[in-house]
Amino acid sequence: MPGPKANVDAADDPDDADDGVRIDMISGARMEGLTSMEKIRLILDGVRDGNIVILEEGLSPDEESKLIEVTMTEISPDDFTGIEIETYPKAEAGDQSFLDKLMGRESTQKLTVIGPANRIETLHKDENLISTLVSRK
């Protein structure tokens, strides 16, 4: 059963890929109705194609762990070298409700950047900025 694909039009031409780096920015609304495995497939399919994937709302800690686990099973030296993933919270922890803090729930509203390990390098990360260097190949 094929997983969901990012809905893009102009970037489907393989000749366009040589002109630069494709970035797929996926909204929280797009991810909302997907199961964890559908989210992981959507992300990995994009990254395996050499794209940078940016998630508006990020993944839950369990989904991030599963993404890393699935990635590890798909790594092959000649084909897929893995992923680089950087995440930071969108809002301060103080913006969580009292009940969420009491229950130990972590907010999933995070911006997440995911890309091929051989094409993306994190230069700097703090609570306000993720700075990366992206190579064409």
Range in 5-9, 90-94, 121-125 with the lowest mean pLDDT: 5-9
Instruction: Please choose, from the candidates 71, 88, 92, 81, the residue with its C-alpha nearest in 3D space to the C-alpha of residue 124.
Output: 88
What digits encode the pLDDT tens for the residues 62-81?
999 999 999 999 999 888 99
| Mean per-residue pLDDT, 70-94 | 82
Q: Up-side HSE of residue 87: CA atoms within 13 Å toward CB? A: 18
- Count of other CB atoms within 10 angstroms of residue 62: 9
pLDDT category, 11, cuts 50, 70, 90?
Answer: very low
What digits encode the pLDDT tens for the residues 34-69?
999 999 999 999 999 999 999 998 898 899 999 999
| Mean per-residue pLDDT, 88-101 | 60
Q: Is the pLDDT of residue 89 over 90?
A: no
The pair of three-digit structure tokens given for residue 99, joined into one six-digit string? 């009940």
| Mean per-residue pLDDT, 79-94 | 77
The residue whose two tokens read 């103080």 is 94
Query: Are residues 120 and 84 in contact, defined by beta-carbon separation less than 8 angstroms?
Result: yes
Q: How confident is the prediction for the chain on average, in pLDDT?
A: 80
Strand-pair category, 52-55 with 120-126: unpaired
Single pTM value for the model: 0.72
Look at residue 1 in the predicted model and tell me its pLDDT. 46
Domains in the chain, CATH or no CATH each: 21-134 (3.30.110)
Look at residue 21 in the predicted model and tell me its pLDDT. 86
